[in-house]
Amino acid sequence: MTTRTLFFKGRLVVACIAVLVALGVTALKRDDSRRKAVAGIGTSAAERSADKINAVAADGGKLLKGEGAYGDWREDSPGVRRLIAPADMPKPYATKSVDNDAHVVSRPNNAWPQALPGFKVDLYYTGLDQPRLIRTAPNGDLFVAISYQNKVMVFRGVGPDGKPKEVSTFAENLSQPFGISFYPAGPDPKWVYIGNTDSVVRFPYQNGDLKARGPAQKLADLPGGGRLRGGGHWTRDVVFSKDGQHMFVSVGSHSNDDDSDTHPEEFHRADVLEFTPDGKFEKVYAYGIRNCVGETVNPITGELWCSTNERDMLGDNLVPDYITHVQEGGFYGWPWYYMSANGGVQDPRQQGKHPELAGKVITPDILLEPHFASLEMLFYEGSQFPAQFRGDAIAAEHGSWNRSKRAGYEVILLPMKNGHATGEYEDFLTGFTTADGHVWGRPVGVTVANDGSLFVTDDGSGSIWHVRYVGK
């Protein structure tokens, strides 16, 4: 058990014991309470969340693994931990694939994101048209991609009311922008790089700019995207190597599982592409990554990491989405294979193709529940959260459309030891679904402010949430 988990679970256990003593609840009733919590039985999302936390704490903070790690929204609560291993994956078509898209509803008046004890969640801003990736400028401004309006906005500061002090549109007339990166690294960047769906552009920048001080400079063309449902993955993230010499651009696949040998539209897709900072193409850095949405660089190891959406239509619990460090020249399987404990499992739709690649498939560091739609990620380097969080990763999970039981719709923690993943992940921010299973919020982006607090974009409710640690 991690130190961080002990930190919170210990407090929860004490609280649970006190409540049980006061109410005179028997051991049998405690067992029944745990059964109901795990089954998602309750009268409200908040009550289910509290029941689940108490149940896990009372059970000694057990790690959910094996088949038990595959849950759904009813089992999500802050502090719940899961570990999925390749050996836990079912066979293809063990269950029937479904189209179970989330039809987003308005946030109910009593609905609010739920966090671990000691954390407070405030509504920073709302009324946005699907805010997507968010990144913090060196001076503390928050840059947010409003992708479907083809613009990037800036949010500055936190006023006494918890709202931004200033809001501005930094740049417009973009092309489904997503990735945002400041270059060079450090306190005084000269450029803001934007990953459009079909290009990488940059704007001249000085600290404090609320509007672009010059026109966009186009640096590189990229394979154009769409808006899914046949149009292809469209998000393009942009990050720089730790030494600032290389620019990594993620490009998702055009399809779910088309053979890229025979589909020219898949050229330079399902890849991480490497460029110079001036936009000169260097090479395919890694391939077979179906849709690396969120990129970041591990501050300890200097490795590139990405948060990846895997393929669909092989069943409820296949193939796991994942978060991983990205090896230079590495092959991650798509479309012919997917991860296994020793090489790769052949996708049955690609039977007999590329046998020479079977043993080259890299197993990712952290397997997530399938169809989570894992999006932006980062490593926590702030000082506001308890010390146990420093160096851990945080990722936004947009939520499933291809699963009979909805999964995702949360923000998760990924414990690290000396910059390397333990393989498990932990629910951190949940509660974006209603008691009857409707979805009102879908996390997309995460960024750490200069004071160490966390901001989360949610394109379901059109909001930005502010998560602060306020203590015991």
Q: In this structure, are 427 and 373 located in the same domain?
A: yes
The pLDDT of residue 13? 40
pLDDT higher than 50, residue 14: no
How many C-beta atoms lie closer than 10 Å to residue 360's C-beta?
Answer: 16
**Is residue 74, in this structure, part of any structural domain at all?**
no
The Cα–Cα gap between 432 and 439 comes to 6
The Cα–Cα gap between 111 and 124 comes to 15
Q: Is residue 86 within 8 Å of residue 341, measured between CB atoms?
A: yes
Q: In this structure, are 226 and 304 located in the same domain?
A: yes
Q: What are the φ/ψ torsions at residue 367 (nearest 5 degrees)?
A: -90, 130
The pLDDT of residue 42? 33
Q: What is the mean pLDDT of the chain?
A: 88
Name the token pair of 137.
């400028």
Q: In this structure, are 209 and 331 located in the same domain?
A: yes
Name the residue range of residue 351's domain.
90-469
Q: In this structure, are 422 and 372 located in the same domain?
A: yes
Q: Is residue 175 within 8 Å of residue 189, measured between CB atoms?
A: no
Name the residue among 63, 64, 69, 62 with its Cα closest to residue 90. 69
Q: In this structure, are 154 and 8 located in the same domain?
A: no
**Is residue 81, in this structure, part of any structural domain at all?**
no
**Is residue 67, in this structure, part of any structural domain at all?**
no
Give whole-number Cα distances, 274 to 182, 226, 250, in Å.
17, 22, 9
Q: In this structure, are 201 and 294 located in the same domain?
A: yes
Q: In this structure, are 24 and 104 located in the same domain?
A: no
Q: In this structure, are 320 and 410 located in the same domain?
A: yes
Report CA 412 to chain centroid distance, whole Å.
Answer: 7
The Cα–Cα gap between 21 and 402 comes to 44
For the stretch 291-301, pLDDT in tens is 999 999 999 99
Domain count, the chain: 2
In this structure, are strands 64-65 and 81-83 parallel, antiparallel, or unpaired?
parallel
pTM of this structure: 0.88
Place of tokens 């750490």: 448
**Is residue 77, in this structure, part of any structural domain at all?**
no
Q: In this structure, are 162 and 227 located in the same domain?
A: yes
Q: In this structure, are 286 and 150 located in the same domain?
A: yes
For the stretch 408-444, pLDDT in tens is 999 999 999 999 999 999 999 999 999 888 999 999 9
* CATH number assigned to the domain comprising residue 187: 2.120.10.30
Q: In this structure, are 25 and 114 located in the same domain?
A: no
The Cα–Cα gap between 454 and 447 comes to 6
Q: In this structure, are 333 and 238 located in the same domain?
A: yes
For the stretch 193-233, pLDDT in tens is 999 999 999 999 999 999 999 999 999 999 986 665 656 89
**Is residue 164, in this structure, part of any structural domain at all?**
yes
Domain end call among 62, 81, 101: 62
